[in-house]
């Protein structure tokens, strides 16, 4: 064996744990440590919040918003630490750099699911699969309806930012580095779907539907290589699905502007989990994907010409 071959021969430890391209952990180990960071921070914040609320108010947290805030802070903190100390990359390199397309990505991404949910509601109403009951302001008033919409939007902004930085940000992009785009899309979307299996009314259909939703949201990143469009899509999906058109959002009941009672076959409508658990979500996702492609066509063409 020559001295040169000895120099380049990797030890078992290096082969198992370190990337062959650069001196850092392999993608799988980085993903594992990132998950542990998330869980540790989440547990610490949750225990601290419980002790604070019990000590100050004598009650345990009952609102969903503090839990969502804890999730968001945990994901942001763990991802920042992992990017800096494990990936040796900047946090913004996940696709969070602000440029002239950032605002339009967020706005267009937010509005596209509005058309998707409108299509779902109209199809269900025309087919007799839901019974229209009225509007929220007819029972709780305009001011309470506005508060309900703004409250729901604020919650879904936190959910959209956190879940997209986690799934289409850290998971998808590290899996691409460790494997390839196709496997990364499947695995990151699978994890995204499995994170919702403990939601109310979860089923095999809802898990498969969320797997498809993961692909749909990832399409926004694939087309732009930024997270702003997927974040907008995620926020808009939850807001229009629940707060505006009155469906359940992944099994969760929220403030509803449009009041109706679904009664159609669950394998089509999604039942009490929401449309993503039914076949009706698939044509809506195709519509959404076509609109994303239409919106990003010039950007993709420019990137291809300059590749």
pLDDT of residue 192: 98
Reported as a single tens digit per residue, the pLDDT across 172-211 is 999 999 899 999 999 999 999 999 999 999 999 999 999 9
- What does the pLDDT average to over 296-302? 86
* Nearest-angstrom CA–CA distance, 61 and 162: 21
Nearest alpha carbon to residue 276 among 209, 201, 222 = 209
Which carries the bigger pLDDT value, residue 300 or residue 74?
74
pLDDT at 134 over 50: yes
* Nearest-angstrom CA–CA distance, 294 and 307: 21
* Nearest-angstrom CA–CA distance, 59 and 53: 6
Nearest alpha carbon to residue 94 among 186, 194, 162, 195 = 162
Which carries the bigger pLDDT value, residue 282 or residue 17?
282
pLDDT at 223 over 60: yes
Q: Which residues contact 242 (CB under 8 A, 6 or more apart)?
A: 152, 156, 248, 249, 252, 253, 254, 255, 256, 274
**Whole-prediction pTM:** 0.92
* Nearest-angstrom CA–CA distance, 255 and 238: 12
Give the gyration radius of the chain's Cα atoms: 22
Mean pLDDT score of the chain: 92
Q: CA torsion, points 19, 21, 22, 24, in degrees to nearest 10?
A: -10
pLDDT at 71 over 80: yes
- What does the pLDDT average to over 262-270? 94
pLDDT at 124 over 60: yes
pLDDT of residue 66: 83
Helix (H, G, I), strand (E, B) or coil at 223: helix
Let me know: does 293 contact 126? Beta carbons within 8 Å.
Answer: no
Helix (H, G, I), strand (E, B) or coil at 256: coil
* Nearest-angstrom CA–CA distance, 295 and 161: 21
* Nearest-angstrom CA–CA distance, 93 and 80: 11
pLDDT of residue 49: 80
* Nearest-angstrom CA–CA distance, 82 and 276: 31
pLDDT of residue 55: 57
pLDDT at 56 over 70: no
Question: What H or E segment, with its residue span, contains residue 258?
Answer: strand 258-262
Please report which confidence band the pLDDT of residue 61 belongs to, taking 50, 70 and 90 as the band edges: very low
pLDDT of residue 6: 43
pLDDT of residue 3: 45
* Nearest-angstrom CA–CA distance, 178 and 164: 19
Let me know: does 167 contact 192? Beta carbons within 8 Å.
Answer: yes
- What does the pLDDT average to over 251-273? 94
């Amino acid at each position: 064996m020559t001295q040169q071959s000895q120099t380049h021969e990797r030890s078992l430890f290096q082969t198992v744990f370190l990337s062959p391209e650069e001196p850092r952990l392999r993608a799988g180990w980085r993903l594992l440590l990132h998950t542990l960071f998330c869980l540790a921070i989440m547990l610490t914040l949750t225990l601290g919040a419980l002790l604070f609320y019990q000590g100050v108010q004598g009650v345990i947290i009952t609102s969903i918003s503090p839990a969502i805030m804890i999730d968001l802070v945990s994901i942001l903190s763990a991802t920042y630490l992992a990017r800096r100390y494990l990936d040796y990359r900047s946090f913004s390199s996940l696709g969070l750099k602000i440029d002239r397309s950032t605002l339009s990505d967020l706005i267009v991404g937010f509005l596209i699911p509005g058309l998707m949910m409108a299509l779902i509601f109209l199809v269900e109403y025309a087919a007799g699969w839901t019974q229209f009951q009225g509007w929220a302001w007819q029972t709780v008033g305009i001011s309470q309806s506005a508060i309900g919409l703004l409250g729901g939007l604020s919650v879904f902004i936190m959910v959209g930012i956190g879940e997209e930085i986690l799934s289409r940000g850290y998971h998808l992009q590290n899996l691409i580095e460790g494997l390839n785009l196709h496997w990364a899309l499947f695995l990151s979307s699978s994890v995204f779907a499995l994170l919702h299996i403990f939601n109310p009314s979860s089923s095999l259909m809802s898990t498969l539907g969320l797997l498809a939703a993961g692909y749909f949201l990832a399409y926004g990143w694939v087309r732009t290589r930024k997270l702003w469009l997927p974040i907008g899509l995620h926020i808009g999906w939850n807001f229009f699905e629940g707060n505006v058109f009155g469906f359940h959002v992944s099994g969760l009941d929220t403030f509803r502007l449009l009041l109706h009672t679904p009664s159609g076959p669950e394998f089509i409508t999604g039942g009490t989990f929401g449309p993503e658990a039914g076949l009706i979500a698939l044509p809506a996702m195709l519509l959404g994907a076509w609109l994303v492609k239409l919106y990003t066509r010039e950007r993709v063409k420019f990137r291809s010409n300059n590749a």
